[in-house]
């Protein structure tokens, strides 16, 4: 299970972020990224929201896509740009320092075929999630795809009990150490539909049932 607190600590040390996430997820983060861009290829224009150190953006670019990665954390983007330096797909990626609130300024309307977001929505408030989905819908061309991976509350009493106990400790520590709360992503398929998307599928990717990938698309113009 991903820990919001653990991620915040890693974000304060961006050079250790990739290694820390790989360790925390037991390799699951790499598998999730590969699944998220499985259908990406030449001709795609990808907007990667909360791009962090650029791992997902570079993976998409390596498959031939043109990628814009946005993130509000300057330290994370510094690592991303360093990784970009010698990458064979460096000419197909640009990184922009911007948060969700600046999506309307950074992303062109109808210009992208894919919008991705990994471990971003758990850091957003409910209103920010709605705004991010609305902006993703605006930025996508008709038929464009939305792929989101993040944490959620698992189904089933026992799994929810284990998850809830773990999060009680995380909530306390995160408030004490990083002065921020935790927000598991619940009801995202409903929010995506409210934004106008058609949800194709949601896949739970770990045994606890606390991590998911959502695939959706913007309907073709009538």
pLDDT for res 117 = 96
pLDDT (0 to 100) of residue 158: 52
| pLDDT of the residue at 19 | 54
d(CA 122, CA 185): 6
Please state the pTM of the whole predicted model. Answer: 0.79
Domains of the chain, earliest start first = 4-154+183-217 (3.40.50.150)
Site of tokens 């009801």? 187
User: What is the CA angle 220-221-222, rounded to 5?
Assistant: 110
- Intervals of the chain under pLDDT 50: 1-6, 8-12, 22-27, 156-157, 165, 169-182
Please report which residue ranges of the chain form alpha helices under DSSP H: 4-11, 17-24, 28-36, 55-62, 74-85, 103-106, 126-139, 157-177, 188-194
Task: For residue 58, report the phi and psi dihedrals to the nearest 5 degrees.
Answer: -70, -35
Tens digit of each residue's pLDDT (9 = 90 or more) over 38-69: 999 999 999 999 998 899 999 999 999 999 99
Query: What pLDDT was estimated at residue 75?
Result: 87
């Amino acid at each position: 299970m991903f820990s919001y607190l653990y991620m915040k600590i890693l974000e304060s040390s961006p050079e250790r972020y990739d290694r820390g996430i790989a360790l925390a997820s037991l390799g699951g983060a790499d598998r999730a990224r590969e699944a998220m861009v499985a259908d990406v290829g030449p001709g795609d224009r990808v907007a990667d929201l909360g791009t962090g150190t650029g791992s997902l953006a570079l993976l998409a670019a390596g498959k031939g896509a043109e990628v814009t990665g946005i993130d509000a954390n300057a330290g994370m983007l510094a690592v991303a740009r360093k990784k970009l330096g010698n990458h064979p797909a460096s000419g197909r990626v640009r990184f922009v320092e911007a948060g969700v609130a600046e999506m309307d300024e950074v992303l062109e309307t109808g210009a992208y075929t894919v919008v991705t977001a990994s471990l971003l929505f758990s850091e957003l408030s409910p209103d920010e999630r709605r705004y991010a989905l609305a902006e993703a819908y605006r930025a996508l061309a008709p038929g464009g795809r939305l792929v989101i991976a993040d944490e959620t509350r698992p189904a089933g009493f026992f799994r929810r009990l284990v998850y809830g106990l773990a999060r009680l400790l995380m909530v306390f520590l995160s408030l004490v150490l990083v002065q921020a709360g935790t927000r598991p992503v619940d009801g995202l398929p409903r929010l995506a539909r409210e934004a106008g998307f058609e949800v194709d599928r949601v896949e739970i990717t770990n045994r606890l049932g606390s991590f998911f990938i959502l695939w959706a698309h913007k309907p073709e113009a009538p």
